[in-house]
Structure 1
Amino acid sequence: MTPNEILVEIRNRKFRPVYLLSGEEPYYIDLVSDYIIENVLTGEEKAFNQSIFYGKDTDVADLVNTALRFPMMASHQLIVLREAHLMKDLDKLANYAEKPLKSTILVINYKYGSYDKRKKLSKVIESSGGALMESPRLYENKVPAWINTWLKKRKCSITPDASMLLVEYLGTDLGKIANELEKLIITLPETNRSITTGTIERNIGISKDYNNFELQKALAQKNALKANRIINYFAQNQKANPFTLTIFSLFTFFSKVFTLHFIKDRSPRNLGSVLRVNPYFLSEYEMAAKKYDARKTARIISWLREYDMRSKGFDNLSATEGDLLKEMIFKILH
């Protein structure tokens, strides 16, 4: 089942005896689990009919004994097993899940990986009327669309540059992104509900002019003046702009530029799919491919690996990260 399908059922007071929520992306697991906790029982019913267990501190026997209890002055009891990935012998729950008590709702939160669908627990949950939900981690190129959808539901919007800036600094952790978006929404005036790079700079502290995203653009254009302004800012603010993050960002960018050199079908749809890049930003990769041929791009990727090692102390006696950054960018541009 999808997260939305489960939420719709809960909203309609249709409950499953067992929910197994698993996957690499914790956001949807928390979203569904929290929604069940908030909406299945009333405040008064929770006192006697809600139990929270943690996988590391729980054995199957204790969990099953609780699940076999009948609710007190309520139609259901709710049991939530958090951190199920840390529980020993989790698959032994299959004996209970095969014939679950209909008045018990058991929610299993299995994060940071998918529970093996070949195991007995997965199979019996499905066959006995329970729900299996998979929460895969989003690829980076899919996150901006997720941000747009998340904001649209709240009658807000975001500019493409602002969306990419968030992804660059927060990665693909949807929970972290949602938390920052919540903070940004509060700051928006009623007359303009759109998040811009300026909104992010004022409220999160990420510079809209001096960041890895802007450095990529400067290098794609071979704009030495802009690139040097950015790296000088980075050198003076190393804590907010770690060298390893810049290396990772540029390595990802130039790896895609290198791939672009060998793609025959240059239609935006195909390029976006192969490179896993939002079509809005394809022009930057195409510009970089014109400025740097395949041979030069391969050398840049090699330099990025070299400077990553040097930043970790290999073949580097005294150069600071700021010095390494300036030296590396000079090589890329010349």
Structure 2
Amino acid sequence: MIQSAETVLQNLAKKIYEPIYFLQGEEVYYLDAITRHIEEQLLTPAEKGFNLSIFYGKECSMAALLTQARRFPMGADKQIVIVKEAQEMADLKNATGQQLLLHYLHHPQLTTLLVFAYKYKTIDGRSTFSKVLNKNTVLVTSKKLYNQQLPTFIKSFVKTLELSITEKAIWMLQACIGNDLTRIVNELHKLRLNLNTGNTITDSIVETYIDLSKPFNVFELQKAIMQKDYPKSYQIISICALNAKEHAALPIITILYIFFSKLLLLHQTKETDPAKISKHIEIHPYFVQGYLDARRHYPLHQILQNITYLHQADVQVKGIDCNTNDYQVMKELIFKLMHA
């Protein structure tokens, strides 16, 4: 049966277990959370010695795995068999291995919890194999969160740490880390060590305790461009040039292209309600006013010209029709963006 990762975690916390779990998808945070809970919480330390078996897909055959899964637990009610990196398991990709597993799916050992952690990929949903998995296992497909879903996730996780967080701090985490939930969670865990219960995570705390140096400079650059602050923009580009490896030109151009594309949408919308504007151009509501201010700084014809400049710079840093280094390209680009 198809279940969400959240539902599976809730059921595990209530000691509701199923014989077989097939965990798949791009968002490994939830897959790791389920696997870790089963591995660490279901058995006592004494029970784990005889009843916890960890396999790795690259080194594991289906026959050996299922032989282990069919045995009875020793000194415990259940045994746990986990296949980590199951996407590397050759027998999951061939007919013989799949047939062995299909037979087990129809006749599982009820005292065994068999877990497949099939990371970064999914089984073809149109295949017979996938349909049997759907019917005979707890099938979890974990997808990457969309940008608009991240604030809810961050707020929810921060609450479990017995902290609160400001809207700007949420945006900074989202803008700098993206939708890498594992990194977001790890950074928040590290931050928690420096705070007391009930504290509020602010943007200054994020900047102080979380290493956001590379993206944060880009964030500052975008902010300076939004405000048409040329001296500050030039200064940031100069700092980036000192470490071109850590501050590559192409990602900066991409971020600025996204910014001006959203500004173009803002020029075209008739919406005045900040919440509707936020949804329309896909930005956090906290930053709507900044975009409205930027719209006054950049008329429509300049935005269109700037998008052309960004395209030209993109081609140049890729080495096409360009005789200068990336720093010179970026320096010229910043000037053009503000003086078109």
TM-score (norm 2): 0.88
Query: In structure 2, how many angstroms separate the alpha carbons of the residues matched to 1:3 and 1:209?
Result: 30
Distance 1:260 1:88, change over 3 A: farther
**Residue 139 of structure 1 pairs with residue 141 of structure 2:** no
Q: CA RMSD in A?
A: 2.4
Greater displacement, 230-239 / 2-11: 230-239
What amino acid does structure 2 have at the position aligned with 1:131? V
Choose which of 87, 108, 120 in structure 1 pairs with 2:116.
108
Residue equivalent to 1:222: 228
What amino acid does structure 2 have at the position aligned with 1:326? K
Distance 1:326 1:210, change over 3 A: farther
Residue equivalent to 1:331: 336
Query: In structure 2, how many angstroms separate the alpha carbons of the residues matched to 1:154 and 1:24?
Result: 25
Distance 1:62 1:171, change over 3 A: same
- What displacement does 1:210 show? 6.2
Q: SS of the residue aligned with 1:179?
A: helix
Any gaps of 5 or more consecutive residues in structure 1?
Answer: none
Query: In structure 2, how many angstroms separate the alpha carbons of the residues matched to 1:162 and 1:239?
Result: 27
- What displacement does 1:215 show? 1.9
Distance 1:316 1:246, change over 3 A: same
- What displacement does 1:18 show? 0.7
Query: In structure 2, how many angstroms separate the alpha carbons of the residues matched to 1:268 and 1:89?
Result: 53
Query: In structure 1, how many angstroms separate the alpha carbons of the residues matched to 2:183 and 2:215?
Result: 23
Map 1:238-249 onto structure 2 (within 5 A). 238-249=244-255
Q: SS of the residue aligned with 2:104?
A: helix
Query: In structure 2, how many angstroms separate the alpha carbons of the residues matched to 1:295 and 1:141?
Result: 29
Choose which of 299, 309, 323 in structure 2 pairs with 1:293.
299
Query: In structure 2, how many angstroms separate the alpha carbons of the residues matched to 1:105 and 1:187?
Result: 38
Query: In structure 1, how many angstroms separate the alpha carbons of the residues matched to 2:252 and 2:267?
Result: 23
What amino acid does structure 2 have at the position aligned with 1:113? K
The 8 Å contact of residues 97 and 121 in structure 1, kept in 2 or not, is answered as no
Residue equivalent to 1:88: 90
The 8 Å contact of residues 214 and 247 in structure 2, kept in 1 or not, is answered as no
Residue equivalent to 1:152: 159
Greater displacement, 204-213 / 66-75: 204-213
Query: In structure 2, how many angstroms separate the alpha carbons of the residues matched to 1:311 and 1:131?
Result: 48
The 8 Å contact of residues 197 and 208 in structure 1, kept in 2 or not, is answered as no
Query: In structure 2, how many angstroms separate the alpha carbons of the residues matched to 1:161 and 1:134?
Result: 31
- What displacement does 1:205 show? 4.2
Query: In structure 2, how many angstroms separate the alpha carbons of the residues matched to 1:115 and 1:164?
Result: 34
Residue equivalent to 1:72: 74
- What displacement does 1:2 show? 2.1
Query: In structure 1, how many angstroms separate the alpha carbons of the residues matched to 2:175 and 2:77?
Result: 47
Residue equivalent to 2:17: 15
Distance 1:210 1:99, change over 3 A: closer
- Offset from partner CA, 1:10-59 (integer Å, 9 cap, x none): 22222101111112111001011101111111112111111112222222
Residue equivalent to 2:277: 271
Distance 1:80 1:298, change over 3 A: farther
- What displacement does 1:208 show? 11
Greater displacement, 290-299 / 167-176: 290-299
Query: In structure 2, how many angstroms separate the alpha carbons of the residues matched to 1:226 and 1:173?
Result: 30
What amino acid does structure 2 have at the position aligned with 1:312? K
Distance 1:61 1:49, change over 3 A: same
Greater displacement, 299-308 / 27-36: 299-308
Any gaps of 5 or more consecutive residues in structure 2?
Answer: 93-97
TM-score (norm 1): 0.89
What amino acid does structure 2 have at the position aligned with 1:35? H
- What displacement does 1:137 show? 0.3
What amino acid does structure 2 have at the position aligned with 1:144? P
Identity of aligned residues (%): 37
The 8 Å contact of residues 168 and 286 in structure 2, kept in 1 or not, is answered as no
The 8 Å contact of residues 255 and 301 in structure 1, kept in 2 or not, is answered as yes
Query: In structure 2, how many angstroms separate the alpha carbons of the residues matched to 1:287 and 1:327?
Result: 24
Residue equivalent to 2:312: 306
- What displacement does 1:331 show? 0.5
Choose which of 54, 60, 78 in structure 2 pairs with 1:58.
60
- What displacement does 1:173 show? 0.7
Q: SS of the residue aligned with 2:268?
A: coil
The 8 Å contact of residues 250 and 314 in structure 2, kept in 1 or not, is answered as yes
